[in-house]
Structures are given as C-alpha cells and as structure tokens.
Copies of this chain bind each other. A is one copy, B any other.
Amino acid sequence: MGADSRVSEATIARLPQYLQSSIDAAKAGESTISSDRLAELVGVNPATLRRDLASLEIAGTRGVGYDTKYLVFEIGGALGLNQEWPVVIVGVGNLGRALGNYSGLEERGFPVRALVDNAPDVVGTTVSGLVVEHLDDIAAILQRESVTVAVLATPPHAAQEVADLLVGAGITSLLNFTAVAVQAAETVEVRRVDLATELQILSFYQQRANSARNGVGVPIERKNEQT
C-alpha cells in the first residue's frame, strides 16, 4: 500500500510540480487530464510522467487520462502533505528575516513556529510576529512546537556547527540556505538551496550561449540559403 521505496530520486524531485499542475487543472474544472497535457504543463516527456505515476501506483484510465482530484490526493499523500510540517528558521539575519516574512511557507503547509539566533542584539526582537529565541534553547523549542524541520539561514562559517547542534536537538530534515554544504548523519535528510548557486548556473549557460553565438568552440554553421 502506498508509495514503495522504489520511487527514484528523479521522480521525487518532479512530484511537487506534478502536484501543482494537477491542483491547477482541478481548480480550472478539468476533471481528467492526459499524460500528454500534464507533461506539457510541467515540461517533461509524457512517458516519463506515466512512468513516474506508475511507480507511485497511481493509475490512469486508458483512453481517458488521469483523474485530477485523484492525482492531487495521491501525489499530496505521497509527499506527506496530509499533515502540517512546522518549521523553525535558524539564523535571523537578512535571509532568515526574509524567509520569516514570506507567507508562502505557511500557505503551503509549512508554518514557521519559531525563529532562532544566537546574537544578543537579535534574540528577543520580534520578526513577523514571533519573538526570536536563543539557539541554546533549541531542544526545548523543538519539543514545545513539535518541529522536526529546520531552515538553516546562518552565515556560512557557522553552518556546520549549527547543523550539528540542530541534529543533536532532534531535527530530522534540514533545508540549508547557506552557501556551503553541511554534513549530517544518514538519518537526517538534508537539501541545499542557494540563490547564488542558481544564478551562477544561469550565467554558465548564458555565457555558453554567448560563445556559441560568436562561434567559439562550435563548428561553423553555413547559411544554406539555397535548397
């Protein structure tokens, strides 16, 4: 019953997009959607989509497609979205503050229940309705708020140390917003998201496109204006 652990990582990474597009389709009144259509919305190959859904044991109807509400229910369930996942934001600098003020988290099932820092001039201040607490109290805070998910937004040099602390205090999922990778025990799930990383990747591609346009390292393409 339910998703078995043969769901590939690549598949998992696509599920949130399938979910979002299924929600959109359901809201738009489409009761059913074909793999071709949904794949187009998400930007993947239809065969990939069908295989992904099959790996979650989500079945469609031949000749018809997938039931949108069923998709929302099943994908949401696979992602664990039938429960809330309260989070703590650790590091209330520029970035932590921005994340604390971002209402999108709460709206999508990840309410921010506490803000934590260790700088005396920050602890005790109020940010988006929450009083910033001290990192030293983290274990009690996690207990009190039933939080197992942390968003790490410290300065990079403190990231590993704070991550160790969080794991010791009972965090089992860590979303790392710092510029550096952090290590943690196998039992802790860690993902890293970094704005600058994404932009750097974009600039790589942009630069490559520019070189290609100038013909650097690319076979010269002859204009073939006759037939």
Assuming the contacts A2-B217, A203-B79, asked whether A17 and B197 have C-beta atoms less than 8 A apart, the reply is yes
Q: Counting CB contacts under 8 A, is A200 at the interface?
A: yes
Which of chain B's residues have a CB closer than 8 A to the CB of A101?
Answer: 94, 97-98
A189 touches B202 (CB 8 A): yes
Which of A4, A191, A198 has most B Cβ within 10 Å?
A198
| Number of chain A interface residues as a range | 35 or more
Interfacial residues of chain A within 15-48, with CB under 8 A of chain B in the complex:
15-17, 19-21, 24, 41-43
A94 touches B87 (CB 8 A): no
Each complex incorporates copies of this chain amounting to 2
A94 touches B104 (CB 8 A): yes
Q: Counting CB contacts under 8 A, is A165 at the interface?
A: no
Which of chain B's residues have a CB closer than 8 A to the CB of A5?
Answer: 208, 212, 217-218
Which of chain B's residues have a CB closer than 8 A to the CB of A172?
Answer: 206, 209
Can you spell out 5 A-B residue pairs with CB atoms less than 8 angstroms apart? A2-B217, A85-B199, A95-B104, A98-B101, A193-B193
